[in-house]
Amino acid sequence: MSKGAPRTPAWWFGDAAVPVWARLLAPVYAGVVALRGHLYRTGLLRQRRVEVPVLVIGNLAAGGAGKTPLTLAVVQKLREAGWRPGVASRGYGRRDEGVPRWVTAETAPEEGGDEPVLIARRLAVPVRVDRDRAAAARALAEAGCDIVVCDDGLQHYRLARDVEIEVVDGTRRYGNGRMLPAGPLREPVERGRCCDFRVVNLGHAAEPGGTGFGEWPMQLQSRAALPIAGGRPRALASYIGIRVHAVAGIGNPQRFFDMLRALGVGVVPHAFPDHHAYRAEDLEFGNDLPVLMTEKDAVKCAPFADARCYSVPVDAELPAAFWVALLDRLARLR
């Protein structure tokens, strides 16, 4: 059983009936989105451009799609190609969200946001959090970055962008296809046609599949569990046939649970809301079974994690042709 319940409404991605209040509010939300887009397209609302290329990674459907693993992979490829990337993010859920901040590996998640801290710890690149992503991008450019990668921000039109990547959950796609709050869509599905690339997150599928024309498959690979309190990594395969507590406070916790089950791990699932602020008691399950959690959750649980607790990092893998196409597009902007 879950100790916490995800906030994703049951009707977004399931067969539950959409409440009347949600159906009535959806056209209002859609109208506001359409008006805002029109104001930016006509120049009545002005975009801010920085002097370096900007690449935005985002999604149309709320509820998590796999943006951060893709961001990590993109930033790593950019560094290998000779770029000096920096990452701009809002830092959702952090304390004092209105205060811009540089995020490093030492930054506490409640100060910098869980995903920005994860990125800073994994890659040691400049990370700037700011509600105004245009200001964050400008700060990164002034700090010496020659390209800015936005983790989320597809709808943050104030920042002019050169390349957009839409990330789609390969299982849930666009849910019931309705706009918020009747469905998960932040913008109409047609908005995705304006993006330069569409990446479909297939999770830990053994074989690529489930992609359509013009879509790039992304698979997530997990090979080891890292002890959060310190120690030697442990192969995930060593948990086959063993019961574990699986903790996930991400947009789609089921993806993490399914991955472990596919490996043959006996999962006792504990789903928490996305960006959940963990406390030590959240990990008290009444026994000493191992606790496996996503890397994003481990960032926040590190201060009180004990020897039972392991982080399971994931790496995004995409076809070589995708990287050729992306780097070629960016090279023309250099």
| Numbered residues of the known binding site for ATP | 61-68
Tokens of 201: 């997150």
Q: How far apart are CA 205 and CA 196, in angstroms?
A: 25
Q: Which helix (H) or strand (E) holds 290?
A: none
Q: Are 314 and 220 in contact (CB under 8 A)?
A: yes
Q: How far apart are CA 272 and CA 171, in angstroms?
A: 20
Quick one: DSSP state of residue 179? B
Q: Are 249 and 278 in contact (CB under 8 A)?
A: yes
Q: What is the DSSP string of 192-260?
A: GGGSSEEEEE-TT-SS-----TTEEEEEEE--EEEETTSS--EEGGGGTT-EEEEEE-SS-HHHHHHHH
Sign of CA pseudo-dihedral 7, 9, 10, 15:
negative
From the annotation, which residues make up the binding site? 61-68
**Spatial CA neighbour of 57 closest among 44, 43, 47, 67:** 67
Quick one: DSSP state of residue 95? T
Q: How far apart are CA 110 and CA 185, in angstroms?
A: 28
Tokens of 218: 């992304």
